[in-house]
Chain A
Amino acid sequence: KQEVTQIPAALSVPEGENLVLNCSFTDSAIYNLQWFRQDPGKGLTSLLLIQSSQREQTSGRLNASLDKSSGRSTLYIAASQPGDSATYLCAAVDDKIIFGKGTRLHILP
């Protein structure tokens, strides 16, 4: 049974810092790994999708990596901004889609 864990559960960093969010999964037989952000009271917005054959994806200040052999994905946010404050969730995609509980990120102005 797939389990997805995100560490840390919460993170506060000063504006401008680079940061890394971690996602680990127990079953490496995944199809995709998808990262989302969720603002309070809102739905989930897709940030990056990494297919199982890929190692990383980049979009603007965001870079996501995938290491299936170790069951890990990381989301790197460069030059953080207060607008990046949100909850970030990862999802392991196979026949089922299993979400982690998320990392609540707060960027301090």
Chain B
Amino acid sequence: GAGVSQSPSNKVTEKGKDVELRCDPISGHTALYWYRQSLGQGLEFLIYFQGNSAPDKSGLPSDRFSAERTGGSVSTLTIQRTQQEDSAVYLCASSLVRELFFGEGSRLTVL
């Protein structure tokens, strides 16, 4: 596609359930980022993938959060045993030469 695609756009889940959020970056972009934006807050860095290098996981808030990127393209962010404080919009961005392009985000609500 022409832009960064994220799915689902909205996800409502019960506390304790696992969720997976998907990001399909712009074709050819080697870098992929995940950010979290809580209501009324700024963007919180989660994880960064660059090519075949080991990902920078320094922003993941707990070991319940993990992400993978298959074949240097699609990425999945997994949140295990969701908590209410995980409710936020999860934004994915891709870039080729450090210019970021964002998807529309996945809004996660944990009841």
B101 touches A46 (CB 8 A): yes
Choose among B41, B45, B98, B103 the residue that contacts A43 (Cβ–Cβ < 8 A). Answer: B103
B41 / chain A contacts, CB cutoff of 8 Å: 101
CB <8 Å contact, B105 and A31: no
Contacts of B105 in A (CB 8 A): 42-43
Determine if B100 and A34 form an interchain contact, defined as CB atoms under 8 angstroms apart.
yes
Residues of chain A contacted by B49 (CB below 8 angstroms): none
A-side residues, CB < 8 A to B, are 31-32, 34, 36, 41-46, 49, 89, 91, 93, 96-102
Complex contact B104–A97 (CB within 8 A): no
Contact of B100 among A97, A100, A101 (CB under 8 A): A97
The docked-state distance in angstroms from the alpha carbon of A32 to that of B100 is 10
A43-B104, A46-B99 are known contacts; what are 18 more A-B pairs with Cβ within 8 Å? A31-B98, A32-B99, A34-B99, A34-B100, A41-B107, A42-B105, A43-B91, A43-B103, A44-B91, A44-B100, A46-B102, A91-B100, A93-B98, A93-B100, A97-B33, A97-B100, A98-B45, A101-B42
What chain B residues lie within 8 Å of A102 (beta carbons)?
Answer: 42
Q: Is the CB of B42 within 8 A of A46?
A: no
Residues of chain A contacted by B6 (CB below 8 angstroms)? 43
Residues of B within 8 A of A45 (CB): 102
Instruction: Find the B residue at minimum CB distance from A95.
Output: B56
In the complex, residue of chain A having the shortest beta-carbon distance to the beta carbon of B44 = A99
**Residues of B with C-beta under 8 A to A46:** 99-102
Shortest C-beta distance, A7 to chain B (Å), equals: 14
Q: In the assembled complex, which residues on chain B have CB atoms less than 8 Å from the CB atom of A31?
A: 98
Whether B103 pairs with A32 at a CB distance below 8 angstroms is no
B88, chain A: closest CB distance, angstroms: 13
Taking CB as reference atom, which chain A residue is nearest B105? A43
Chain A residues with CB under 8 A of B107? 41
